[in-house]
A and B are shown apart, each in its own frame.
Chain A
Amino acid sequence: MSLAVLTFADDPIFYLAANLAKIVVFTHIVLILSALSVLAERKVSAWMQDRLGPNRVGPGGILQPAADALKFFFKEDIVPGHVDKVLYILAPAIALMPALIVLAVIPYGPPLTVLGETIPMVIADLDIGILFVFAISSLGVYGIVLAGWASNSKYPMLGGVRASAQMISYEVMLGLSVVGIFMSTESLRLTDVITSQVDGTWFMFSQPIAFIIFVIAAFAETNRLPFDLPEAETELVAGYHTEYSSMKFAMFFIGEYTAMFVFSALVAVLFLGGWDIPFMSNADFEALGNWGTLLGFLSFFVKCLAFLFFYIWVRWTIPRFRFDQLMNLGWKVLMPIALVNVVLTGVVLGWLGS
């Protein structure tokens, strides 16, 4: 970006105010979106199964998430006598926090100009963006494992242990699949990844193998069908959150949907060009000024929502994997392919460069 970006040294108060505003606005947008995606999940499921879905609260059932939230507030919070109390209360918080914190490094749109200052539309534009994402999002597994262990009940225990094995296995594939991208962008900063895609091709087309591996790993990391073994209803009742009720259960629920949004955003940023619109260059976005920001912002959220829809679509299309199939797919199929992809990218880039 050629524009001078607002820093702390320029105008400390304005800088802090802008950051605080960004934090408040983006957290709310994402939390409202994840609440609405719960409704969308039920509506789309109903549509795919030829039913009506929730349609009683508000026009077309649009207020259903609000009604659910109220219900979560007023329901009894059962803390069974046999649990490990401290960990039992801590676990839902740990499950939700990492998904929220990852939102800090996701670029939502091109820089905005306010009062002559350029503000990047990302809360913390870290130069190790993707490492931060992996470091924090892998903490999410603690919430699930602690919930399973602290519940001191058989079904949550099985769910928690399964979740730990599944999530750490697919963490490896997730990290390995994106190595190719950073070989071509030469930066781990997420905004650089997007700007290189805006002027070039989307990595979905130049890194198709990485794209497929990343999407599969994203499904496994968020515990969604076909990889929802930690909470497989038919086998484990509700998996790791069997013993949870009221607001603590809601934490797991919101955490899961926020994590889904985070991974949709990551797919959009890494593979679908982030805020890019086909046939537009970085110069076009800069020329359009704040309208460019708005366009980019909309484009980014359209991509996220499309991927969220894909999550739900897959849920009603593919049956659940067996646990040994899941581990085999991860370690014996995706891992070698991801390694070969890294070498292939290296050879192609070396070839083109020399």
Chain B
Amino acid sequence: MYLDYHAVLVFLITGAFMVCTPLVLGMLFRPKNPYKEKNLPYECAEDPIGDAQIRFDMRFYTTALIFVVFDAEIVLMFPWARVFQSAPSKGVALVAGLVFTTIVFFGLIYDWAKGDLDWVKSFQNKRRVQD
């Protein structure tokens, strides 16, 4: 069974080879002529001010957290989906699935009500935070 994965490994090596070859081979032909202006960050001919690796918006972090939770929940759903039809009692399997889906759904509604799913926070929410 695990032998199936040897093809994946060979494929991985093939993929790496295909990615590296053009990069390395091209080095032989390419011109190399860097100068100061060429090495500046691209900002439509403006002189860049400051570093670009800044602290970014907190909302991206919240999205990532929600993703981790829901993705784990979906991974738990796959085995259930696989054995659903061969379960001794489909009624029990269905109820079990229903309970799980409901919990996921309440999680979604909780996030929704809390405003974590709103990309643009409403004015009211903003004021509540400031108070």
Q: For the complex, would chain A's binding face be called helix, strand, loop or mixed by DSSP majority? A: helix
Closest Cβ–Cβ distance, residue A187 to chain B (whole Å): 7
Find out whether the CB atom of B15 lies under 8 angstroms from the CB atom of A182: no
B31 (CB) vs chain A CBs: closest residue: A76
Q: For the complex, would chain B's binding face be called helix, strand, loop or mixed by DSSP majority? A: helix
Residues 313-346 of chain A, each 1 if its beta carbon lies under 8 Å from chain B, else 0: 0000000000110011001100110010011001
Q: How many residues of A contact B (CB 8 A)?
A: 85
Find out whether the CB atom of B10 lies under 8 angstroms from the CB atom of A80: no
Select which of B6, B53, B59 is within 8 A of A152 by beta carbon.
Answer: B53
B11, B42, B54, B108 pick with most chain A CB within 10 angstroms: B11
Considering the chains assembled together, what is the distance between the CA atoms of A176 and B82 in angstroms?
14
Find out whether the CB atom of B22 lies under 8 angstroms from the CB atom of A250: yes
Find out whether the CB atom of B29 lies under 8 angstroms from the CB atom of A97: no
Closest Cβ–Cβ distance, residue B86 to chain A (whole Å): 6
Considering the chains assembled together, what is the distance between the CA atoms of A131 and B10 in angstroms?
19
Closest Cβ–Cβ distance, residue B73 to chain A (whole Å): 9
Interface status of B112 (Cβ within 8 A of chain A): yes
Among A42-50, A98-106, A262-270, A284-292, the one that faces the other chain is A98-106
Interface status of A151 (Cβ within 8 A of chain B): yes
Considering the chains assembled together, what is the distance between the CA atoms of A79 and B33 in angstroms?
11
Residues of chain B within 8 A of A179, CB atoms compared: 74, 77-78, 81
Contact status of A97 and B53, CB under 8 A, knowing A74-B30, A182-B78:
no
Closest Cβ–Cβ distance, residue A172 to chain B (whole Å): 5
B96 (CB) vs chain A CBs: closest residue: A346
Which chain B residues have a beta carbon within 8 Å of chain A's beta carbons? Answer: 1, 3-8, 10-12, 14-16, 18-20, 22-23, 25-27, 29-34, 38-44, 48, 51-54, 56-57, 59-60, 63-64, 66-67, 70-71, 74-75, 77-78, 81-86, 90-91, 93-94, 97-98, 101, 104-105, 108, 111-112, 117-120
Q: Can you list 15 A-B pairs, Cβ within 8 angstroms, ordered by A? A: A23-B14, A76-B33, A81-B39, A97-B16, A100-B15, A104-B11, A126-B5, A131-B75, A149-B53, A171-B71, A251-B19, A336-B105, A346-B94, A347-B94, A349-B85
